[in-house]
Structure 1
Amino acid sequence: MDKFLRPDRFDADPNSSGAASEWKHWYRTFNNFLEAIASHKPDKLKTLVNYVAPRVYEYIADSDDYDSAITTLEKMYVKPKNEVFARHLLSTRKQQANESLSEFLQVLKQLSGDCNFKAVTAEKYKEEALRDAFISGLRSSVIRQRLLENKTLQLQDAFDQALALDIAQKSSDSYESVIPSFSAASDNPEVTKSSQDEASQAAVAAVRVSRNSRCFFCGNNRHPRTMCPAREALCNKCGKKGTLCQNVQELYFRSNQH
């Protein structure tokens, strides 16, 4: 009887898409085999070693007993499910063309197996439903992707992460929009050298995060140099306007470097 239940040698790649299914099936057949030869009182660890391929044996080479070897292989082949991503797939899955209602329902049942559904309170169920709707309804695919990388995620954590990513994305877009406008002006032969210098100063002032919240020139709240009310003021030392005065330029850049 035992020869009919003898399993094949286990040789699955733990990184393959069907690794978990292959392991679960093989482990079931291996347990059936152990039950069939129980009267012989086999050494389970030695028997296990005989029925795994060399590359699989490497994972359990340091195991001292059968239970620890099985635990190691279980962790290698059965990865924790991404609950957030699984529920997103379930909630957004649509019936495909030429897919019958029975086939569509079967797919949904398979997807639900990875969703980690369990008995929860009404409040917990509400929070999870809000989290799933929040992620699915996001306009930014980048933020949605980052949230779906979490294996588990609370509603408040999802909101906090999304808010931080949204601010960072808007800041990045704002930063990139400042530089091209000035670099394009530098290619225009009609722009004078003094205008180029002024544009360079404005670009630096617009993107630099300074510890000083006050404008060096006018004393008002921090703002780009081109918007400063004192930009056309005359220098008491040389009589030139603030945008052209070398003394003012040196003081301005010095104040932004400290």
Structure 2
Amino acid sequence: MTGLMGEIATTRVEKGSLALWFLGQNGWMIKSPAGHVLAVDPYLSNSCHPSRRGLDLDRRVPVLVAPEELRADLLLCSHSHKDHADPDTLCGCARSGRVKAFAGPGDTQAVLAAASVAESDRILTWPNHQIALGDLTVTGTFALPTDAGDLTHMGFVIEGDGGPKVWITGDTAWCDLLAEAGAKHSPDAICLPINGGYANLSHWEAAELVRRVGPAQAIPCHWDMFADNSCSPHMFEASLKVKEVKDVYRLPVHGQKMLIEVR
């Protein structure tokens, strides 16, 4: 095994921490101290291009893992949009047999079925539902849908046994309930969209969510993949400064390991 998957396979994660790798858009790989691996919203193709609306959705981030090479104990899809539940990626993962289980909310289930993921390997999940995986617990979280095409958006809090909690919000519009529902988990880190396009959180709204929830680390995502749905992460950093939220900003680098520890 070579490349990023080889690095993930050989990485040892110390107790009290989680290792994250950013794949681009809202794609993440996560590894626990016991060696369990999660994939979240891996977009590993160029299936959004060409856009039926004429937008520039040609991917700008290299594919760091081929779908057939992705290995995970669990693959999570936050909703059914193609850059989150990518048919090409899911088909490759289903063919390889290297992903043991797939989970997501209601509208993702049809995408998983169409990608030939066996019914026995599909898990339906929803906000407040929990999935146990060795030393990891995945808890579904509330997200406000960004369009009427999929009304089952959600996020995930991923918690290590005695270790940190990472909240991956998924695509979500702003509402007070988002902050209230997120704060009850007391996450150590938040990975959240900042692009603001097409009803997602703007960099200003994302900074307000961080201010209200109070994590030790705020990691922007969903800003990098498409020219016509992007935002400079510097604007998120600036918004945090304006809101006087200090020392939490952390910029992810594609394919580079990040360690998340208990605050």
- In our comparison, the structure showing a higher alpha carbon Rg is 1
Q: Given the two structures, how large is their TM-score scaled by the length of structure 1?
A: 0.20
Which has a greater percent of helix? 1
Which has a greater percent of strand? 2
